[in-house]
Each structure stands twice: as C-alpha cells, then as structure tokens.
C-alpha cells in the first residue's frame, strides 16, 4: 500500500456499493409527523398555512400536508430543520420544545441515517380551548 492511497469514508448513506440520497420532502414529512406526535403540539405552520390547510381539508379527496410548517436543508450526510408550531394552552413551552426537538432528531436519524445538526422551533401561536368550535350560524326565523 502506498502513502497516497485514498481512505474511503463509509457511512450509512455512503458505502463502497453506492450512495443513498434522501430528498428534502422525505425529511420534511418525517420531521412534521414526528413533531405532531408530541403531546402539546396542536398544529404546525403559520396562520396562513393553517388557514389554507383548513380549506384543503374541506375538499373531498385532498390530503393534508405532513410537511406543513416544516422547512429543511438536507446535505449528503446532515440535515437542519425549522419548525413553526402552534402549542396547546397551558403547556410548558421550553419542555415541549425539548421534547419536539428530541423526537424530530431521533426520527430523522433512525429513518434516514442523516445527522441532524439543528432543529429550530418557532412557536407562533397558542391554541386556546374552544378555538376550533365553529361559530354559531345565524338563524333566520
């Protein structure tokens, strides 16, 4: 063996047999689903995204986007995630953020083999009890 021989680094995604590439949308969906699994997260996305999602839910055959409120940057070996969340009223936000971050990192790393370098969480609203109840319809007698 010569001194100039190259050392090949192998990881879960880069092996001697080939390279596996993970699309951004895959990581985005995993992160969205993992965040929603945590008790205390009411929804993901900003106000406009949630309003659009509510309209989409009323259309027969339309499916909800698992990646709503999630943006990701995915490299060959690492990923970074930004989340926008709506929390339930009364939940300790710091504890919730810790739980969401842990679940998102664990899910992405176990499912994809990517190293998650950061999960930024933006809490943009608090869900109050009764916010989902439809407004009473005006009745004409």
87 located within any domain: yes
CATH of the domain at 65: 3.30.70.1350
pLDDT, mean over the chain: 82
- Has residue 62 been placed in a domain? yes
Q: Domain residues for 102?
A: 21-127
Nearest to 108 by CA among 36, 41, 33: 33
Q: What is the pLDDT of residue 3?
A: 43
pLDDT given for residue 47 in this prediction: 59
Cβ proximity of 39 and 85 under 8 Å: no
pLDDT at 46: 76
Instruction: Tell me what pLDDT residue 48 has.
Output: 53
Summarised one tens digit per residue, pLDDT across range 77-112 is: 999 999 999 999 999 999 999 999 999 999 999 999
In the predicted structure, residue 53 carries a pLDDT above the cut 70:
no
Parallel, antiparallel or unpaired: strands 70-74 and 41-44: unpaired
């Amino acid at each position: 063996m010569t001194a100039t021989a190259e050392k090949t680094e192998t990881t879960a995604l880069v092996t001697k047999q080939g390279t596996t590439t993970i699309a951004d949308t895959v990581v985005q969906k995993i992160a969205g689903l993992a965040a929603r699994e945590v008790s205390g997260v009411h929804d993901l996305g900003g106000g406009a995204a949630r309003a659009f999602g509510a309209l989409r839910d009323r259309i027969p055959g339309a499916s909800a986007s698992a990646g709503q409120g999630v943006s990701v940057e995915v490299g060959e070996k690492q990923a970074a995630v930004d989340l926008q969340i709506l929390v339930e009223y009364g939940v300790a936000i710091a504890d919730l953020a810790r739980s969401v971050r842990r679940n998102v990192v664990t899910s992405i790393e176990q499912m994809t083999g990517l190293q998650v370098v950061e999960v930024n969480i933006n809490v943009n609203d608090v869900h109050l009890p009764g916010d989902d109840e439809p407004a009473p319809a005006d009745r004409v007698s």
